[in-house]
Structure 1
Amino acid sequence: MGGPPGPFSVPLRLSPKVLLIDPVRMLPSLLVPLVGVLVVGGFSPRSYLWAAFGLVGTVVFALIRWATFTYEIAGDRVEIKRSLISRSIRTIPLERVRGVDVSTPPMHRLLGLAVLKIDTGASGGDGEATLDGVTVGEAERLKPLLLRRARTEATPTARPEEERHAEGVPSERVIFAVPRRWLLYGPLSGAYLLTPFALAGGAVGLAFQWGDDLGFGRNAAWSVGEWLWQRPSLLVAAMVLLIVAMPIAGGVMYAVFNWDFRLKRRDGYLVAERGLINRRSVSLESRRVRGYEIVDGLAERWAGVVRAWAIVTGLGDSETRGQLLPVVPRADATAVTGDAIGPYQAELRPHPPIARNRRLFRAVFPWLVPAALAGLLLLLTGLTVWWVLLVVSLVMAALGVPLGLDRYRSLGHGYDGDRVAVRSGSLRRSTAVVERRAVVGWRLHQTWFQRRAGVLTLTVGAGAGKGGYSAIDVSEAQGRDFPAEVTPEWLAPFLNPPPGPHTPSDPPSTG
């Protein structure tokens, strides 16, 4: 059945200001062809005419695309229509909207525009629909309209803020605001540290590509490479410069993406706002949140800081859109996730000692093989290179001992009566906490080596997040008893079958 008339009586278009952005965004893809036209034409008046014709064509294309794109909210659905070449209409029921992502890239911010993405959880990485070029005020008006289905579907477990919102009383509360001094933790996450090498690699790739496209050929780039190769001191200096720039560039990039990070509860939604150049606001429907995942790397663990993501049903691009907290102290992350979602109140249970032996074997044995091979070749040839390989292999094997022990200490699982927790990993340790109502199944997996060791992998199937979270190398008793503890009603018919016509009701005697 259709809902009440929508708030818009006629289809709406994006802001005309977006026409100042679209041609500029197309310029990088047109730059090489335009320069090629000028070079091939010898920079003659005709070549300039063709280049100008290409620029005008870009503007005309952007104008036609803007004029043939409309959107409207009609009743209980949103409709997006395109008719550039062929006419298409995309209809999204409001009840399927899982979240709304509003961002303001630099050029959009200068013109007072925003990009609004509608996520239905069915599109993988990107939103189901995108309105690229609405005004900021229009985006703020559209957001509650697109998310209104959650307001009309109050749940019995709603928090007080959600109940007031369901009654029509707007509410907003800041759960946590990340202090700016904590941006110094950014380089510990590791991903941003490779920024200088990524930029250097991109520059080298452009040098080869543009040198060929602009008619210089690749010989010029190769000549520069050979010149540097003949001067090893410059290469070493460049590598040292890149390594020194890693924490600086990593900290800058981290600050750009996570500047002024705020986590709010607004009208039944968890809202994460962040960004310096591109300000982004992501809304997650609270009643669809089923847990959280806390992650820390090795350097982060030494510093006592972690990151946090929400485990949400039907959320596309959860690695980006589901982020609850950037790098913050562990105590604050525990308090924030407990306030926003719910605390886990039990100790994690250790895995059997055989799991420790397996972690040590995997961390040490792969390095003992090249060490033994290098030692044998050293005895046969006496070459210095085998000394180097032997020493490096033995050092890595020695480092594998604390790594294996740390991987074992990181293993754990538990249940506090309301939530299930699973933890594993060392270089990237992850602790997933899932509500019991989100558990949809169990999977027991045992490799040949695990079968010999008497352990197995127990995966908690969840209707949210990654779909499953694994407790690695649990004992066979834990693999049997833990699912029975969390979901006893599922296993009761198999553990205690009802007496049949040929089955005695009393248990057989074990004496």
Structure 2
Amino acid sequence: MLPSLFVPLVGVLFVGGFSPASFGWAAFGVVGTVVYSVVRWATFTYQIVGDRLELTRSLVSRSVRTIPLERVRGVDISTPPLHRLLGLSVLRIDTGARGGGEKQEGELNGVTAAEAERLKGVLLRRARAARAQAPEAVPEATAGERPAVQAVPGEAVPSMPSASSAAGQVHTAVPRKWLLYGPLSGAYLLTPFALAAGAVGLAFQWGEEFGFGRRAAWDLGKWLWTHPWLLVVAAVLLVLAMPFVGAVMYAVFNWDFTLRSRDGYLVAERGLINRRSVSLERRRVRGYEIVDAPAERFARVVRVWAIVTGLGDSQTRGQLLPVVPRQAALAVTAEAVGGFAAPLRPHPAAALRRRMFRAIAPWLFLTAVGAVTALTTGDWEWWAPAGLALLLAVLGVPLGLDRYRSLGHAYDGTRLSVRSGSLRRRQAVVERRAVVGWTLRQTWFQRQAGVLTV
């Protein structure tokens, strides 16, 4: 909890003018937080009782959260920087409830790294056994300690997994040189602008304390307006920094990415500062989704997410692969989930006409509106938006063609694959047993073109 106090404590010191009283209040806040955290830690226990996990808090009033083991979809372990220094970890239990928010899941914050790994193995084995109606022994522990597994009379104490079973089958360990592909996804390219915006916001928030008030900021803005070349230089520097800063941020989040199979789960581990381990139950993995952007297609690299039933926060927890070469991604998904070899069938020419119409017609309409307004009113300023709309209409031609080329579907007898999109092209590969129904939708325009949406 101490890192979250940094900004409030700095605020107290600034407001108090770094006086002895302000330091006293800051020290009081730190001591109070430490005492509260220690008491909260000492009054928290967790216990596996039969077919359920019980999380008990008794700080003021006693509360017990019960998680049925049969609902456990996965167990994630993360090690933030401060936790890593102290040899601690955060263990989260995914039950797939309400999108996977932390308030609906179990969390053990501040257990030892060894205890987190031990408890993860016990929970995953017990969850699988509970679904098979074969309960095992009952371990009990207090947060922050590694307890001995307590046996229940008449039941066997589960043995610890061997080193080979703990390692599992490694499907891929992403080479560090592939981290250079990260900026191609575009997700991290805007990092320099985000940092610059944060610095500006911080300056406005705390500027008064440093003698940089709103009046000074206004004067600086007017001065920059009279020297636009400085803004251009700053923008150019930020653009040049985009690939480098983006690559660094991407490497921080995906350092030493490893995907393996272990005890009936797909386990993805990644991260440099905050090392995270995510477990996906294999029997709930119904397929995968291959995603790429135009720059990634040019470099022939893709990203992969798992399609899992009952998974909360699938966009974050379901990632199977970061940006890797396409052939490597196909090989890994074929080994870990299942391959798909059938070629995609192209869509009819009517789909091409619809894609071109959607990409061009709206901008041509705006061009016509701007041109007519400029001619009828004599206000030539309308030609600027009309010209911009015309430029977007021209750019819509390759966009529409690419959207049509991306369309495709196929079925190989076991799995179904569909693909669409351009700026974010997505190809989903799902097992036949995952399809429980379908909807046929046909608008008036689709009926005239003789096509429909499934």
CA distance in 1: counterparts of 2:107 and 2:208, whole angstroms: 36
Q: Residue 292 of structure 1 contacts residue 309 of structure 1 at CA under 8 Å; is this kept in 2?
A: yes
The match for 1:126 is 101
1:112 to 66, 73, 87: 87
Confirm or deny that 1:240 pairs with 2:215. Answer: no
Q: Residue 13 of structure 2 contacts residue 23 of structure 2 at CA under 8 Å; is this kept in 1?
A: no
Deviation by residue 1:67-123 (Cα, 9 ceiling, x = unmatched): 222212223221111223332111112111101111111111111111111101114
The match for 1:159 is none
AA aligned opposite 1:227: W
2:428 to 416, 428, 432: 432
In structure 1, runs of 5+ residues without a counterpart are: 1-21, 156-167, 459-511
The match for 1:509 is none
Task: Give the aligned length.
Answer: 421
Deviation by residue 1:121-156 (Cα, 9 ceiling, x = unmatched): 11424341111111111111011111014654899x
The match for 1:180 is 176
Deviation by residue 1:27-86 (Cα, 9 ceiling, x = unmatched): 2244323432x13xxx54444333332232222222222222221222322111122333
- Comparing 343-352 with 252-261, which one deviates more in the overlay? 343-352
CA distance in 2: counterparts of 1:82 and 1:219, whole angstroms: 51
Alpha-carbon distance change, 183 to 74 in structure 1, aligned in 2, over 3 angstroms: same
Alpha-carbon distance change, 69 to 27 in structure 1, aligned in 2, over 3 angstroms: farther
Q: Residue 351 of structure 1 contacts residue 412 of structure 1 at CA under 8 Å; is this kept in 2?
A: yes
Q: Residue 150 of structure 1 contacts residue 268 of structure 1 at CA under 8 Å; is this kept in 2?
A: no
- Comparing 300-309 with 437-446, which one deviates more in the overlay? 437-446
In structure 2, runs of 5+ residues without a counterpart are: 133-160
AA aligned opposite 1:219: R
Q: Sequence identity of aligned pairs in percent?
A: 68
Deviation by residue 1:356-402 (Cα, 9 ceiling, x = unmatched): 10100111112212322343355467777555444433332222111
Q: Residue 71 of structure 1 contacts residue 79 of structure 1 at CA under 8 Å; is this kept in 2?
A: yes
Confirm or deny that 1:254 pairs with 2:261. Answer: no
Pairwise CA RMSD: 2.3
Confirm or deny that 1:294 pairs with 2:283. Answer: no
1:454 deviates by 2.7
Question: Larger Rg: 1 or 2?
Answer: 1
AA aligned opposite 1:200: A
Q: Show the 5 A alignment for 1:261-410.
A: 261-379=257-375, 385-410=381-406
Q: Residue 151 of structure 1 contacts residue 267 of structure 1 at CA under 8 Å; is this kept in 2?
A: no
Alpha-carbon distance change, 398 to 47 in structure 1, aligned in 2, over 3 angstroms: closer
- Comparing 328-337 with 215-224, which one deviates more in the overlay? 215-224
Alpha-carbon distance change, 152 to 125 in structure 1, aligned in 2, over 3 angstroms: closer
1:265 deviates by 0.9
CA distance in 1: counterparts of 2:233 and 2:212, whole angstroms: 28
Deviation by residue 1:255-298 (Cα, 9 ceiling, x = unmatched): 11111111111121111111111111111111111110000111
Alignment partner of 1:133: what SS?
strand
Alignment partner of 2:340: what SS?
coil
CA distance in 2: counterparts of 1:44 and 1:185, whole angstroms: 50
AA aligned opposite 2:217: A
Q: Residue 257 of structure 1 contacts residue 274 of structure 1 at CA under 8 Å; is this kept in 2?
A: yes
1:252 deviates by 0.8
2:449 to 439, 450, 453: 453
1:59 to 12, 34, 44: 34
AA aligned opposite 2:81: P
AA aligned opposite 1:145: V
AA aligned opposite 2:113: V
Alpha-carbon distance change, 46 to 386 in structure 1, aligned in 2, over 3 angstroms: closer
Alignment partner of 1:457: what SS?
coil
Q: Residue 79 of structure 1 contacts residue 90 of structure 1 at CA under 8 Å; is this kept in 2?
A: yes
2:120 to 135, 139, 143: 143
Q: Show the 5 A alignment for 1:207-246.
A: 207-211=203-207, 217-246=213-242
CA distance in 2: counterparts of 1:212 and 1:122, whole angstroms: 45
Confirm or deny that 1:86 pairs with 2:82. Answer: no
CA distance in 2: counterparts of 1:125 and 1:222, whole angstroms: 45
Q: Residue 70 of structure 2 contacts residue 128 of structure 2 at CA under 8 Å; is this kept in 1?
A: no
2:407 to 404, 411, 414: 411
Alpha-carbon distance change, 394 to 60 in structure 1, aligned in 2, over 3 angstroms: same
AA aligned opposite 2:344: L
- Comparing 229-238 with 388-397, which one deviates more in the overlay? 388-397
The match for 1:468 is none
Q: Residue 294 of structure 2 contacts residue 424 of structure 2 at CA under 8 Å; is this kept in 1?
A: yes
Q: Residue 346 of structure 1 contacts residue 414 of structure 1 at CA under 8 Å; is this kept in 2?
A: yes
The match for 1:195 is 191
AA aligned opposite 1:83: S
Alignment partner of 1:314: what SS?
coil
Q: Residue 23 of structure 1 contacts residue 62 of structure 1 at CA under 8 Å; is this kept in 2?
A: no
